[in-house]
Structure 1
Amino acid sequence: MREKKIHYKDINGFITCSLCNGYLIDAATIPECLHTFCKTCIAAYLDNDEEDNTRCPKCDSVIDHVNPWRVLVFDRTLQSIAYKLVPHLYKEEIERQIAYYKERDLPYPPSLVEKLQEKRDEEEQQTIPANSDLHIYDDQVAICIDTKTRDIESFPRKFIICSSNATVTHLKKLLAKMIFQDPYQYRKIDIYLDDQILGKDHTMRFISLTKWRHKMPPICLTYDVSPI
């Protein structure tokens, strides 16, 4: 099936506020007609006593005669789509809000503080070289691993530190490479914790939080080689 290309002009109407003609910021939807506007735009419209602010500014549908604010729905899904489709929209909005509070020497609201932290985290992530090993930025877990029986040669490194996102399979491949010089022989190896075989997809984080929760590191594991 041929892939269909979608142009911005075809979707602009869905992510644009008809009150300011700009891209949606803090999208707020009127449930009666499903028309969406920027939160600040629809707020200014509803607070304007000179106009009939109980009707949708786009289609004239009745919103609420008593309290139009009560029925507005903040559309986080549509806002997320707008941020993803329009490059730098989110970043520019955060910078605009920061400038507003700085100019007036006002404290940042908690929601903006969270967005600022997200922005800093994103900028830090962008400074990481594309070809670097991103797992070095994961939480680290200390592991002590030894043979389950003395019939097997002991692992050269009993104490290792690895990413908390590493799985039991990763550990088995490391052992297979050290024992058989072939990581693809990992299926011959079983890894145990307290005589219980660990599932291949268990991460070190999961093991640490569920099976080693009230114990001091390192996590003590054993391994055995089965004849396959």
Structure 2
Amino acid sequence: MYRVTKIPIKDLNEHFLCRLCNGYLVDATTIVECLHSFCRSCLLNFLERHNYCPICQTLLHKTKPHYAIRPDHALQSLVYKLVPSLLNNEMQRRRDFYSTKKPIDWPDSPEKRGDITIDAYQLQDDFTTSLELVYWVPKDCKEDRTFKSIYLLCPSGVTVSSIEKLIRIKFELDPKKFEVYLFLDMEDEQLDANYNVSDLSCLYTGWGKTLPLKILYSIISPSEQSEQKHPRKRKREQSFKDLSEKPKPANHPKSKIAQQNAKFFP
């Protein structure tokens, strides 16, 4: 039997407190340059007047520093699991706030409306989750093929690597010829192979459990990957570059995915 050691929450506070407001993190947001995390509202207020990290003074984007920050769903999940009362209080404040607004002004996200509970962040090991694996095609790619979604009922301990292996087996993909990429949203990074279904349910806080948890997947050959980096395989340590004002070249990697899929789909 493994020994269980209880650690006082105060010993972990330094990792879960916002250095700007000295409270527990709410909507945890991380700076990609130095990986320091803060409450989203606290950090945005700070960046209105400064363009550097509040802790280490690392310089961010000179004119648009908010381009160098990202939501940290994994960190926020840890905070809510360790301090459940924080989630309850925060959700109540959000419900009170939007109760004074017209329904048309309510956000689409259940979390932003205050409609989730701690159950959204905690799944038991024997809890089964419905998954929907959806083949992803970039909007700017012209492809007439459509592929049916794959539906699975999985224990919460099933890992991303296991789901990837299932896709390889279903489509008879040679690991030496094709790579499988999984992600929760078209703007998200590639999912870590060690994540399990329970972790994914925490990362995707908009999932209400009444519908299958949607996971997007795409397939590309390693030869193509070596020439141009896959759009979803970004590292957190990389600086975010403003691409919104620059037109995408014709050979953008998104346009290559559909071409590669034609090699293995009949």
Q: TM-score, normalised by structure 1?
A: 0.47
The structure with the larger Rg is 1
Bigger relative contact order (CA 8 A; separation at least 6): 2
Q: TM-score, normalised by structure 2?
A: 0.40
Q: Which has the higher helix share?
A: 1
